[in-house]
C-alpha cells in the first residue's frame, strides 16, 4: 500500500456500495408514499428492532440523545433528581440527564473494560438519585448483574445506553434487554447506522413505551390532542427505511468487526500497546478498537504521516469538560478515567477492514512505539 494511502477511522462508503440497490429501493418507497415523518418505514423498523431483541416495544426517535432524554422522562426523572452516569462516555449520556432537569452524578470507570465501575456506584447514590445509566462503551457490555443488583437494593431504575453496543451480549443475552429501558443511537458511524440521525428506546414496560411515544411527538397520542408538553423527536421515514435494510446485515457486520479485532490482537501482540480486554462472559461488538499507548501524540502523528486516521474517545472525562465544570468536581476525583484519557487511541475499525489494512496500520505503528 502506498504512503499516500488513506485509511479512514470509519469507512461508510464501502458498506453502502454493497447494499446500494436495496437502499435506493427502500428510499424510493418512502418517496412514493410521501410518508416522510414516521410512517410505515419507521413502524416496520420499530417492529423489526423489537423482534430482534425479543422486547415488547421499540420507540424510534430522532437520535440517541433524544432517546435517552425521553426514556429518562418516561422513567419519571424530574428537575432536582440525580442520575448516575460514567464519567468517561460521550457527553450525550450526561446531556440527556441535564435536558430532563436532573443532574449527573459521575462515577469512575473500571480499568479492565472502560465501563462504569460497579464498586464505585453506591458512594455516588444520594437520596435524590433515580436512575443508573450503564454505558456499554466501545461495544463491550458493562457489568449488568452487579449494576442491577445495586439498583434493586436502592430502588433505582436502570437505563442502558446501548449507543455503541448494537447486538453486544452479556451472559448470552443481548444488551438493551436488561434495564427498565434502553436507548440506542443510529448515528451513521454506529454499528447500526442510519444515513442521518436516528435513535430508539427498547422497553418491555407498556407505560414507559406509551409515555415515550407521546413525549417524542409533542405530548400527543392522537393528532392535535396534547396531554403534556413534549418534543419533536420523531424519526424520519428515510431513516426508518435505511435502518430496516441495514438491520438484516447487522449479524454479518458484527462478525466482520469481531474478526478485525481478532486480527488486530494477533498483529499487535508483541508491540508495547495495551490491547482492549474482552471479558469471557460478554460478546464485545467492537464499535471502536481502543488501545493504550504511552506517548500518544507521537504515535498519532506517526500514523497520520502514513495516512492512517485515528481518534480519541474521549480526550476529556466529563467532570473536566467546560459543560460540567459548574458541578464542582476536581481532577483527582476520577483517577482511572483521567489516566485512561491520556493514553487511549482508537484505531480504524469497521466490518470491511481487511487483513492487509490491519497489517498496514500495524507497520505504521511499529516505528512510533
The residue among 268 and 288 lying less far from ligand PLP, judged by its C-beta, is 288
Q: Between the CA of residue 133 and those of 159, 160, 328, what are the distances in Å?
A: 5, 6, 21
Burial of 129 (0-12, 13-18, 19+ CB in 10 A): buried
Binding characters for ligand PLP, 169-198, by CB under 6 A (x = yes): ----------------x-x---------x-
The window from 23-31, 156-164, 236-244, 265-273 that contacts ligand PLP (CB under 6 A) reads 156-164
Among positions 10, 102, 135, 242, the unique one binding ligand PLP when judged by CB under 6 A: 135
What are the backbone angles phi and psi of residue 36, rounded to the nearest 5°? -85, -30
The residue among 100 and 185 lying less far from ligand PLP, judged by its C-beta, is 185
SS (H, E, C) 210-257: HHHHHHCECCEEECCEECCCCCECCCEHHHHHHHHHHHCCHHHHHHHH
Interaction of residue 15 with ligand PLP, rule CB under 6 A: no
Interaction of residue 239 with ligand PLP, rule CB under 6 A: no
Grid cell at residue 342: 491520556
Least separation in angstroms between CB 286 and ligand PLP? 14
Interaction of residue 72 with ligand PLP, rule CB under 6 A: no
C-alpha–C-alpha distance, residues 113 and 136, integer Å? 9
Binding characters for ligand PLP, 195-234, by CB under 6 A (x = yes): --x-x-----------------------------------
Among positions 55, 88, 89, 103, the unique one binding ligand PLP when judged by CB under 6 A: 89
Least separation in angstroms between CB 162 and ligand PLP? 8
Among positions 49, 90, 110, 360, the unique one binding ligand PLP when judged by CB under 6 A: 90
Grid cell at residue 328: 464542582
Angle, in degrees to the nearest 10, between helices 39-53 and 12-33: 130
- Bridge partners (DSSP) of residue 103 are 82
Interaction of residue 161 with ligand PLP, rule CB under 6 A: yes
Angle, in degrees to the nearest 10, between helices 91-99 and 64-74: 40
Interaction of residue 92 with ligand PLP, rule CB under 6 A: yes
Least separation in angstroms between CB 328 and ligand PLP? 24
Say how many residues make up the chain: 369
C-alpha–C-alpha distance, residues 100 and 343, integer Å? 33
* Residues lying near ligand PLP in the complex (CB under 6 A): 63-65, 89-90, 92-93, 135, 161, 163-164, 185, 187, 197, 199
Amino acid at each position: 500500500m502506498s504512503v499516500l494511502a488513506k485509511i479512514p477511522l470509519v469507512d461508510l462508503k464501502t458498506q453502502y456500495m454493497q447494499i446500494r440497490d436495496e437502499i435506493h429501493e427502500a428510499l424510493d418507497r418512502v418517496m412514493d408514499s410521501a410518508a416522510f415523518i414516521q410512517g410505515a418505514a419507521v413502524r416496520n423498523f420499530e417492529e423489526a428492532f423489537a423482534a430482534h431483541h425479543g422486547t415488547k416495544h421499540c420507540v424510534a426517535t430522532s437520535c440517541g440523545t433524544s432517546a435517552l432524554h425521553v426514556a429518562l422522562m418516561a422513567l419519571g426523572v424530574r428537575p432536582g433528581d440525580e442520575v448516575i452516569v460514567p464519567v468517561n462516555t460521550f457527553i450525550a449520556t450526561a446531556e440527556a440527564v441535564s435536558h430532563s432537569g436532573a443532574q449527573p452524578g459521575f462515577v469512575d470507570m473500571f480499568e479492565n473494560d472502560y465501563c462504569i465501575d460497579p464498586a464505585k456506584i453506591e458512594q455516588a447514590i444520594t437520596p435524590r438519585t433515580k436512575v443508573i445509566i450503564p454505558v456499554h462503551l466501545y461495544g463491550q457490555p458493562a457489568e449488568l448483574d452487579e449494576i442491577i443488583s445495586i439498583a434493586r437494593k436502592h430502588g433505582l431504575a436502570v437505563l442502558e445506553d446501548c449507543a455503541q453496543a448494537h447486538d453486544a451480549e452479556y451472559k448470552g443475552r443481548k444488551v438493551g434487554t436488561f434495564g427498565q429501558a434502553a436507548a440506542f443511537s443510529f448515528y451513521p458511524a454506529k454499528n447500526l447506522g442510519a444515513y442521518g440521525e436516528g435513535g430508539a428506546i427498547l422497553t418491555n414496560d407498556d407505560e414507559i413505551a406509551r409515555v415515550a411515544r407521546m413525549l417524542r411527538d409533542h405530548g400527543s397520542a392522537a393528532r392535535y390532542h396534547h396531554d403534556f408538553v413534549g418534543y419533536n423527536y420523531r424519526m424520519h421515514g428515510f431513516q426508518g427505511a435505511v435502518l430496516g435494510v441495514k438491520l438484516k446485515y447487522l449479524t454479518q457486520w458484527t462478525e466482520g468487526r469481531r474478526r478485525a479485532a481478532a486480527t488486530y490482537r494477533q498483529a499487535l501482540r508483541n508491540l508495547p500497546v495495551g490491547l482492549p480486554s474482552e471479558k469471557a462472559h460478554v460478546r464485545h461488538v467492537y464499535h471502536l478498537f481502543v488501545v493504550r499507548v504511552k506517548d500518544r501524540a507521537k504515535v498519532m502523528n506517526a500514523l497520520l504521516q502514513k495516512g492512517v486516521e485515528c481518534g480519541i474517545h474521549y480526550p476529556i472525562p466529563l467532570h473536566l469538560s467546560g459543560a460540567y465544570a459548574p458541578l464542582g468536581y476536581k481532577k483527582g476525583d476520577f483517577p482511572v478515567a483521567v489516566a485512561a484519557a491520556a493514553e487511549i487511541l482508537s484505531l480504524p475499525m469497521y466490518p470491511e477492514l481487511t487483513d492487509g489494512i490491519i497489517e498496514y496500520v500495524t507497520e505504521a505503528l511499529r516505528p512510533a512505539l
